[in-house]
Chain A
């Protein structure tokens, strides 16, 4: 351990294990108060209040709004291009630019663009799909899908220290603290 080079940490981080949501939130709060930023939590179900503790900001909503408005404009442009510019038809003497008839396609493209933006925006922002993640190197991590809650402090954190961080995590009363190899 003492042979750690200066730039590359020898491990990916430390993983602390908990049996319930409340100690996990308490530990995450304590780590946050300590000044750690590169943290992640893993749990079998959504934990209410945890995103706020981790300082997580969700930008998908804004992307979806932009996507939806874009879709609406694209829908209108498509209808206008077809009905006014490219293939104008006289239907019952109505004007070519009959916006009430455009509303349904506009609505559909709004939904289409918004939902595609939601899916791909989510993937772009959360970095999925990710075929390899070091955290799976810890055998106990399998329990994260069933009954255990994990707090990870990554070695990329400026405050990370091989000895002190481990000591800090041990003080937060976890069931175990594991090294996560790269």
Chain B
């Protein structure tokens, strides 16, 4: 890394820290004023940095399985993303607190009905009793606070082990050219991806779906996982566009790399639309009283505006923009599409988890802006730190890139 690159990364890191700390101050003020709102805002905002971190893990594994220049060009970004997973444990602590404790006052007045809880009704025995017909003791045990936190520990542990095991072998291969280490990265990635898909599905059930514990959808986890891949690709595009003129990025952050990453982003946009619509179509077709209210809530009381917004800005507009190869290659335009998609990832998760907290219809709180800013800022700060702590390139990676670029960059 030369001085110019270091100065640029330092500058970006300082900016991220400044923004993140400003947001965190907002969060602390919000917590003292309205802890309920704090947890509700924190919950939805948490998922996007989590998506950057876990999406990096998923994309790394996919790239080891499929190969492709896109993963080689973005490899260091994904690797630094994997290194932020332990940091996500720290950011998860407020949610663990919300799982394990209960608000002091009975929250009946907040429209919660019987019982009291911060985010997850299933953690409250009174709620379980009141809904016993559809809320079995087994389900109550599954959704109890300590078990939820225990599972979260297991998920994080499995992601950290998978991620750092891959990183260890990738590093070994980079430094020694050991073919066995290279083989190991692929050997871990196959089962690792399967296991990641299962654990993240359960994590989405635990942390997001259970804000409405009487509703269930098996498609739910997939929507989150696809969203994580989408967020990560969008983040990689934005990050590369900021450093594309610097060593060593300038040797490979060329129109072809942006086109490849944007094509994958396009694919994840379609996959997100496909999974989201499939879930809707299945529930709309069945029209059962156990399932349909979830969508009724999200398409009325002001939430319909967000639903339409998602359809247009999370799917239609980026879909048509990313159809055009000219835009996908354009490192000065495609980051705006990526930024739009990251914003829409926040909106999508907000639309998924926030409605039950707002019984009187959509009412956006200022903490709903502070929380995403705080968590994204602080995550980017930590991410750049991880990126700087390891070599941005290696002779072997340069050779691989050279071979992948082939005659394309003469």
Q: A residues within 8 Å of B by Cβ? A: 21, 48, 65, 92, 94, 100-101, 103-104
Whether, in the assembled complex, B164 has its beta carbon less than 8 Å from a beta carbon of chain A, the answer is: no
With CB as the reference atom, state the residue of chain A lying closest to B280. Answer: A100
Q: Is the CB of B284 within 8 A of A48?
A: no
Whether, in the assembled complex, B333 has its beta carbon less than 8 Å from a beta carbon of chain A, the answer is: no
Residues of B near A103 (CB, < 8 A) are: 277, 281
Main secondary structure of the interface of B (DSSP, over half): helix
Contact among A21, A48, A100 with B281 in the assembled complex (CB-CB below 8 Å)? A100
Residues of A near B406 (CB, < 8 A) are: 48
Q: Known contacts being A92-B287, A101-B285, is A48 close to B277, with CB within 8 Å? A: no
How many Å from the CB of B269 to the closest CB on chain A?
15
Alpha-carbon gap, A103 to B406, bound state (A): 42
Q: Is the CB of B407 within 8 A of A104?
A: no
With CB as the reference atom, state the residue of chain B lying closest to A104. Answer: B281
Contact among A21, A94, A100 with B407 in the assembled complex (CB-CB below 8 Å)? A21
* Interface size grouping (class) on chain B: 10 to 19
How many Å from the CB of B121 to the closest CB on chain A?
29
16 pairs from A and B in contact (CB 8 Å cutoff): A21-B407, A48-B406, A48-B407, A48-B408, A65-B323, A92-B287, A94-B287, A100-B280, A100-B281, A100-B284, A100-B285, A101-B281, A101-B285, A103-B277, A103-B281, A104-B281
How many Å from the CB of A127 to the closest CB on chain B?
24
Residues of A near B407 (CB, < 8 A) are: 21, 48
How many Å from the CB of B165 to the closest CB on chain A?
37
Residues of B near A65 (CB, < 8 A) are: 323
How many Å from the CB of B272 to the closest CB on chain A?
15
With CB as the reference atom, state the residue of chain B lying closest to A91. Answer: B285
Alpha-carbon gap, A101 to B277, bound state (A): 11
Residues of B near A92 (CB, < 8 A) are: 287
Residues of B near A21 (CB, < 8 A) are: 407
Alpha-carbon gap, A94 to B277, bound state (A): 18
Residues of A near B281 (CB, < 8 A) are: 100-101, 103-104
How many Å from the CB of A28 to the closest CB on chain B?
15
Alpha-carbon gap, A65 to B325, bound state (A): 13
How many Å from the CB of A106 to the closest CB on chain B?
11
Closest 8 CB pairs of A and B: A100-B284, A100-B281, A48-B408, A48-B407, A92-B287, A103-B277, A100-B280, A103-B281
